[in-house]
Structure 1
Amino acid sequence: MTCRWLVLLSIFLFQTRSQSVAQQKNSIGIQLVDIKAGTFEMGSERGKEDADESPVHAVTISKGFKMSATEITNKQYEAFDPGHNKLRGKQGFSLKDDEAVVFVSYDEAVAFCAWLSRKEGKTYRLPTEAEWEYACRAGTTTDYFTGNELPAEYQKLQHTNRTPVPVSLQVAQTAPNAWGLYDMHGNVEEWCSDWYGTYMAGSQTDPVARQTGMSRVTRGGSHNTPVRYLRSANRQGMLPNDRHWLTGFRIVQGPMPRTKALAAAPTPANSVQVSQQKYVWQKETQAIFETPIAYVIKPDSSTGIPFYKHNHCPAITWCPNGDLLAAWFSTNAESGREMTILASRLRAGKKTWDTASLFFLVPDRNTTGTSLLYDQKGTLYHINGLEAAGDWQNLAIVMRTSTNNGATWSKPVLIEPEHAKRHQVIAGSLITREGWLVQFCDADPSSRGGTAMYISKDKGAHWTSPYTLPITPLYKDGATGGLIAGIHASSVQLKDGRWLAFGRNDNIKVDTVVGDRMPMSISSDNGANWQYAPSIFPPISSGQRLVLRRLNEGPLLMVSFTHCPGKSTVEGMNFTKPNGETYKGYGMYAALSYDDGKTWPVIKLLSDGHMRQLNGGAWTGMFRMDSTHAEPKGYLAATQSPDNVIHLISSNLYYRFTLAWLQQP
């Protein structure tokens, strides 16, 4: 009771003090509050997930400024952009005049400030990150301006909801801080002017962060967000051209600080000393199967690279300089906001992979799903999912390109800007015989969600999804639907122009003896419609993702698993020895088809028979490889370089083998 009384007393004192704060309204009714110059301690010292808030450092705001008492409302924003009215109530959010405007990009917020500056002959802009935290704290040093806890009356569904729950975004409904600013903790996130980057140690005056970067900073946290992300020191970020229901902005009146921006963040190791010499590939005809090695190499903790306990969901491609490039997510939880995309490089002629380094990060956003592809015409493609918040349902799709072997990458472009289902990127993008770029995405986070197909006919500039029919709830033999059966599907274009795909779940029962089979999907119209039939392969389940691709030599290669440990009613498969005898094998296998998927005469356990203890990482962990056992789980991705070597990665291990080895009895 005493603690609750103190919180209420603090709020009362804030209200009382704020009454004396100098305030005025501008020409469109924005209430402005005087923020005086001063010094504060910026940042916090917390755990690894919040390492970007440290080191704590003294910051001096040398000149006072005026800040809007509330976030910009719909009515105020629409004085600048009347057309934004059509977004009112989108997904149930921000319908009324006095609710915080949302679905506004960074560039649109900057344009609003420029318009208002011209209108009034005064300088309006977004706050710097330092100005924002200084104003939010209002002289406090605790997690929130209310103390180390945020009272219930300030909270609006402060947990992650897979499907966001609409709440009122009406401004100024709770007590302001001591300087008269409302909704600094929650309601909606707010754009700041800074590029996101690591803090520098030492005292600073009027910092303006980095010269450039990938993300712009947002502050304050939002509804439908865990309360810890609403702290005064918490840092978030968004791609400047992104917009969604969580983010709006407030403004500052006053000149921009003249401080020189810091240099751009150091180049990550996967983009350092990248050779630009074209590699001469020598065709490999020998039967090769090399001992699997780890490609996920933990960096030294002193580097500050955000490496977490769960490393999973990889992608891989070869580069024209002879390197291999692999990328994957690193996180503590697959639905976590701490998730980042790391990468490693196996440089031409080397036997070990580089240490993991940062590849793609949008701070405090889930980034599930990565794909890498070299188009064999000079361009590398990186395609990734991007959540509005945590979890991995409401994803936009982001694309970057590189024309120098990944030494530098273009600014991220939102190729599917809506944060929605059917956007969870899957490794295995490809170029069709027509030259089209194709990307596959999980269509729904449920087990019966299917896989969507996206096509670009102009090198990624524009994308379309060809499906025309709704998803078929149950994939029965011969049924037709608009999506590939199963999630995490892998697909290949056949020689006659049709498409063949296999996926996880949505299994088709053959009979009581054979049981369930992995679904096979066939499309004759470039993915608009799919017909389903049982394949000859056993189904796979959690912790497993298959590979299907065409080899340089012509055959189709399919890599999957004999069963899912703990999920399958029947374990293992029968394999044939060189003398014709059969034996039961368990784990990862490869299958070859020489007639575009009609038959699969070669099905081989992916093991050379030598006894090894290996760590598959992620959901796989330690396992035994021997003459009857291969890796039991893992998310697979594969590429084949021009020398015809097949490069396969699971969640932690790198396999290198050839078609000649697969064809050996």
Structure 2
Amino acid sequence: MRNATILCYCLIALGAFTINAQETNSLGMQFARIPAGSFHMGSHGQGEDYDEAPIHPVTITKPFLMGTTEVTNAQYEQFDPSHKELRGKYGLSKEDDEAVIFVNYREAEAFCKWLSEKEGKTYRLPTEAEWEYACRAGSYWNFWMDDGLHAVYHKNQQNVWGTDSTINLKVGKTPANPFGLYDMHGNVEEWCCDWYGPYEAFPQTDPVGRADGLYKVTRGGSHSTPERFLRSANRLAMIPEDKHWLTGFRVVQADMPQTRPLPAIEPASQENISQQKYNWGTPLKTPFFAEPLVYVKTPDCSSGVPFYKHNHCPAVSWCDNGDLLAIWFTCDEESGREMVILESRLKQGTAEWSEPREFFRVPDRNVTGSSLLNNDGTLIHMNGVEAAGTWETLAMVMRTSKDNGATWSRPHLVAPEHARRHQVIAGSSKTKEGWLIQAADATPRSNGGTALHLSKDNGLTWEDMGKTNPGTFEAGASGGTIAGIHAGVVQLSDGRLMALGRGDGIVDKDGLERMPMSLSEDNGRTWTYSASEFPPIDGGQRLVLMRLKEGPLLLVSFTNHPFRLKNGLNGMTFKDKNGREYTGYGMYAALSFDEGKTWPVKKLLTDGKSRFMDGGAWTGFFDMDQTHAEPRGYLAATQTPNQIIHLLSSRNHYRFNLQWLVENTDFQGKIK
């Protein structure tokens, strides 16, 4: 037996840890007496666990009573009988003695207040320090019993796509720790009362966390989660209003420590962001294509900015001060919980993108999918937030900035259900009625379509327009979902919506699989499907569809997938500046002057100069020359008021204008 275990049980034998001293309240909740004591909180905090450092000494000066188990359905529903409607949601937590789930922080707090009034004693959520102290019970291993979690505690400890309805959440069915506490590793995550924030190195007595923050701490990990997130030191966080099937809570019975909280960590503010409105000047009347820039850069090692091997999925917007703002995710695995959204900025008058800085994260939650939009001077950021890892069951959050992205509002859940149809896609827009449009993948698969979310009140409320009518993607059929994931959506001049997407290909009259086109006459409630004239795209590729300020529709897509050809389609026919036809490969732009009926202008996105380039993410290295452009990448675009089109791939920033696209075509000279 390990030395720490011997020490732990020796202390118990000496009476330092009194596990038999239990109390029971009128709800039948059992409480273990947790003795006063000291321990070292945290871990070395390496890699994605950097928020567990520094290790720091903590003293708990008074004993307290802690629930031996998590609060159960039967106990919670004496406070809120309506919660019975959530029993068995997704097949989980059906019985009286299973841990209650689908409870947000505010509801857990309200339960504690109700129980305090009922019992005449103070019940509350544990502080983060109390929770870790009680969980460790004198140990410094990863788990109270060992460096690995013993199999008896396992409840499908892996990333789960969706939910696993076979999991039983009955409390107190596995061995208790030396303090007499059950289910401290797994079963369900547990709310703590602390605001999430960085640790401090100095010794602390009865710490209560930060004075304020964006997220509340949860501890212990849960079922359907990799084992490393169940460690004693692991810290998780959630938006206080969020709730899902992984999180419940347990309570303590003790007065709240009167310790002064640590200062709040103010939301990140960039003091060097200009707040002067920029004069964009007169648009260029001559063709323009600039040397591509790299916007995804490696931060300085001393910056503290989390930066992983995989950087992907951009969004971009212009700011009223003349800057460009780009965001993307960085991670080791796209389904990982280490994922963070980073930002980089091309300041007006500069020729290089800034080094990245942290833009958005919810600690230990996957945050796949982002968008940016300049809405009459207010920047809108939309993002997906997972309950755990993967990107199947995302909620949608929204933030705004009125100071060119220097500061942002607190994250607000605008689609709070963790479900499909919430993977945000870059390319949000505003209709002529003033409504906001946000597309979101309906599925994590490469096929399955795109949902359309619409807000008629500037983002206060959103509606998934076609949720009740999914449909099938066949020519002439209709349904409530856009054909193809990662879809781009535009409003046509007659008010209809048009979308183009990846996957869900439709075979045309010649027997060739084509990119699907979807049209809606009822603001996205139903869509009709047909084959477009464009080749389908595939893995590692995402298109852009937008309306230019000059009027035409712009599509940017790819001639083919470099490794997976569809029906033998390989490359497209283009014309060079002398009118000679050639076969080109890679990223191209197409223009429609008749609301998507025809696309007479198609141009390979290269100026003909030979370059060896790195596309990052899934693209990798490629040669750009007269007949080859970037072969794949996730695209995002914005057009600044001076009519320059700014196109981002997974790593590179392209700049060109409409005059360059129509150069040496029949439309040259007709563009106003």
Q: TM-score, normalised by structure 1?
A: 0.95
Alpha carbons of structure 1 residues 510 and 29: separation in structure 2 relative to 1, 3 Å: same
Cα distance between partner residues in 2 of 1:160 and 1:382 = 27
Q: Which amino acid aligns with 2:294?
A: A
Cα distance between partner residues in 1 of 2:142 and 2:468 = 50
What do you get for the CA RMSD once the two structures are aligned?
Answer: 2.2
Matched, 1:343 2:340: no
Shift of 1:33: 1.5
Q: Secondary structure at the match of 2:115?
A: helix
Residue of structure 2 in register with 1:494 after alignment: 492
Shift of 1:284: 2.2
Residue of structure 1 in register with 2:501 after alignment: 503
Residue of structure 1 in register with 2:662 after alignment: 663
> In the TM superposition, what are the counterparts of 1:546-561 in structure 2 within 5 Å?
546-561=543-558
Deviations, residues 486-536 of structure 1 (Å, cap 9, x unaligned): 000001000011111110011122256x62211111111111111111111
- Decide whether the 8 Å contact of 1:468 with 1:529 is kept in 2: no
- Decide whether the 8 Å contact of 1:7 with 1:151 is kept in 2: no
Matched, 1:534 2:565: no
Q: Which amino acid aligns with 2:659?
A: A
Residue of structure 2 in register with 1:125 after alignment: 124
Deviations, residues 337-388 of structure 1 (Å, cap 9, x unaligned): 1111111121222211121111111111111100111112x32111111111
Q: Secondary structure at the match of 2:99?
A: coil
- Decide whether the 8 Å contact of 2:573 with 2:584 is kept in 1: yes
Q: Which amino acid aligns with 1:379?
A: T
Residue of structure 2 in register with 1:362 after alignment: 362
Residue of structure 2 in register with 1:137 after alignment: 136
Cα distance between partner residues in 2 of 1:367 and 1:14 = 43
Shift of 1:266: 5.7
Deviations, residues 558-611 of structure 1 (Å, cap 9, x unaligned): 100111110113321111022221111111111111111111111111111111
Matched, 1:401 2:400: yes
Deviations, residues 49-78 of structure 1 (Å, cap 9, x unaligned): 111111222111222221111111111111
Shift of 1:11: 10
Alpha carbons of structure 1 residues 600 and 357: separation in structure 2 relative to 1, 3 Å: same
Matched, 1:524 2:521: yes
- Decide whether the 8 Å contact of 2:342 with 2:357 is kept in 1: yes
Cα distance between partner residues in 1 of 2:545 and 2:574 = 20
Cα distance between partner residues in 2 of 1:149 and 1:611 = 54
Cα distance between partner residues in 2 of 1:534 and 1:564 = 18
- Decide whether the 8 Å contact of 1:485 with 1:502 is kept in 2: yes
Q: Which amino acid aligns with 1:633?
A: R
Residue of structure 2 in register with 1:429 after alignment: 428
Deviations, residues 375-402 of structure 1 (Å, cap 9, x unaligned): 12x3211111111111110111111111
Shift of 1:260: 2.5
Q: Secondary structure at the match of 1:67?
A: strand
Cα distance between partner residues in 1 of 2:19 and 2:226 = 33
Shift of 1:145: 0.6
Deviations, residues 628-662 of structure 1 (Å, cap 9, x unaligned): 11111110001111111111111111111111111
Q: Indicate the larger mover: 162-171 or 633-642.
A: 162-171
Matched, 1:172 2:169: no
- Decide whether the 8 Å contact of 1:498 with 1:526 is kept in 2: yes
Q: Indicate the larger mover: 417-426 or 293-302.
A: 293-302
- Decide whether the 8 Å contact of 2:194 with 2:210 is kept in 1: yes
Q: Secondary structure at the match of 2:464?
A: coil
Matched, 1:485 2:493: no
Cα distance between partner residues in 2 of 1:56 and 1:525 = 57
Q: Indicate the larger mover: 514-523 or 432-441.
A: 514-523
Cα distance between partner residues in 1 of 2:249 and 2:663 = 63
Cα distance between partner residues in 2 of 1:484 and 1:586 = 27
- Decide whether the 8 Å contact of 1:613 with 1:622 is kept in 2: yes
Unaligned runs of 5+ in 2: 665-672
Matched, 1:389 2:421: no
Q: Which amino acid aligns with 2:52?
A: E
Residue of structure 2 in register with 1:380 after alignment: 379
Q: Indicate the larger mover: 309-318 or 198-207.
A: 198-207
- Decide whether the 8 Å contact of 1:283 with 1:642 is kept in 2: no
> In the TM superposition, what are the counterparts of 1:572-651 in structure 2 within 5 Å?
572-651=571-650
Shift of 1:199: 1.6
Shift of 1:206: 2.1
Q: TM-score, normalised by structure 2?
A: 0.94
Residue of structure 2 in register with 1:146 after alignment: 145
Shift of 1:620: 0.6
- Decide whether the 8 Å contact of 1:337 with 1:390 is kept in 2: yes
Cα distance between partner residues in 2 of 1:432 and 1:402 = 21
Alpha carbons of structure 1 residues 80 and 365: separation in structure 2 relative to 1, 3 Å: same
Cα distance between partner residues in 1 of 2:519 and 2:101 = 42
Residue of structure 2 in register with 1:63 after alignment: 62
Cα distance between partner residues in 2 of 1:408 and 1:15 = 55
Cα distance between partner residues in 2 of 1:40 and 1:190 = 21
Q: Secondary structure at the match of 2:508?
A: strand
Cα distance between partner residues in 2 of 1:531 and 1:208 = 56
- Decide whether the 8 Å contact of 1:441 with 1:488 is kept in 2: yes
Cα distance between partner residues in 2 of 1:211 and 1:611 = 56
Cα distance between partner residues in 2 of 1:305 and 1:614 = 25
Q: Secondary structure at the match of 1:115?
A: helix
Shift of 1:15: 12
- Decide whether the 8 Å contact of 2:19 with 2:178 is kept in 1: no
- Decide whether the 8 Å contact of 2:18 with 2:35 is kept in 1: no
> In the TM superposition, what are the counterparts of 1:216-295 in structure 2 within 5 Å?
216-265=216-265, 267-268=267-268, 271-285=270-284, 286-295=286-295
Cα distance between partner residues in 2 of 1:554 and 1:597 = 12
Q: Indicate the larger mover: 403-412 or 609-618.
A: 403-412
Alpha carbons of structure 1 residues 290 and 264: separation in structure 2 relative to 1, 3 Å: farther
Q: Runs ≥4 in structure 1, deviation > 4 angstroms?
A: 6-20
Unaligned runs of 5+ in 1: none
Alpha carbons of structure 1 residues 638 and 20: separation in structure 2 relative to 1, 3 Å: closer
Residue of structure 2 in register with 1:88 after alignment: 87
Q: Secondary structure at the match of 1:307?
A: coil
Q: Which amino acid aligns with 2:524?
A: G
Q: Secondary structure at the match of 1:522?
A: strand
Q: Which amino acid aligns with 1:227?
A: E
Deviations, residues 189-224 of structure 1 (Å, cap 9, x unaligned): 000111112222232222222222221110001011
- Decide whether the 8 Å contact of 2:559 with 2:570 is kept in 1: yes
Cα distance between partner residues in 1 of 2:183 and 2:224 = 15
Cα distance between partner residues in 1 of 2:14 and 2:551 = 78
Q: Which amino acid aligns with 1:157?
A: N
Residue of structure 1 in register with 2:668 after alignment: none
Q: Secondary structure at the match of 1:328?
A: strand
Matched, 1:544 2:541: yes
Q: Indicate the larger mover: 605-614 or 486-495.
A: 605-614
Cα distance between partner residues in 1 of 2:497 and 2:54 = 53
Shift of 1:180: 0.9
Q: Secondary structure at the match of 1:50?
A: helix
Q: Which amino acid aligns with 1:494?
A: L
Q: Indicate the larger mover: 604-613 or 53-62.
A: 53-62
Q: Secondary structure at the match of 2:106?
A: helix
Deviations, residues 420-472 of structure 1 (Å, cap 9, x unaligned): 11111101111100000111011112232111101110111121122276333
- Decide whether the 8 Å contact of 2:125 with 2:250 is kept in 1: yes
Q: Which amino acid aligns with 1:504?
A: R
Matched, 1:306 2:306: yes
Alpha carbons of structure 1 residues 504 and 14: separation in structure 2 relative to 1, 3 Å: farther
Q: Which amino acid aligns with 1:521?
A: S
What is the number of residues matched between the two proteins? 658
Alpha carbons of structure 1 residues 554 and 8: separation in structure 2 relative to 1, 3 Å: farther
Aligned sequence identity (%): 58
Matched, 1:190 2:190: yes
- Decide whether the 8 Å contact of 1:14 with 1:175 is kept in 2: no
Q: Secondary structure at the match of 1:40?
A: strand
Q: Secondary structure at the match of 2:132?
A: helix
Q: Indicate the larger mover: 59-68 or 482-491.
A: 59-68
Residue of structure 2 in register with 1:476 after alignment: 474
